[in-house]
Structure 1
Amino acid sequence: MEEVLQREGVRQFTLHARSSVLGFYSRLGYLPVGEEFTEVGIPHRKMVKELSTVA
């Protein structure tokens, strides 16, 4: 997905990650933003990753 977004010129990708898997997304380069919140009854954090553009 990141490769497709990069080809389309997207520079930043945001997702809502379950708090229990923050480490997984952190290892992929995502950074947590803001406070924990509840979504569909489960604790989540917003996470953001800067994508490099492909020439």
Structure 2
Amino acid sequence: MSSSHKFVIDTNVFIEAYTRYYSFDIAPSFWNAVIQHAENGHVISIDRVKQEMNRLHKEDE
């Protein structure tokens, strides 16, 4: 991936990936790659997505 590309990820991308295809226990390497790309600045999101994900996580507890 070129360092000039940035991908802005919406909440739905995380939810769909987790619930349909890549749950944490089935595909940890997918989530590790997402984290790595986020740390490298290739995958970004907005604060509102983080807030929504935190809210959904609390509802699941």
Q: TM-score range by the shorter chain?
A: under 0.3
Greater share of helix residues, 1 or 2? 2
Task: Return the TM-score normalized by structure 1.
Answer: 0.26
Greater share of strand residues, 1 or 2? 1
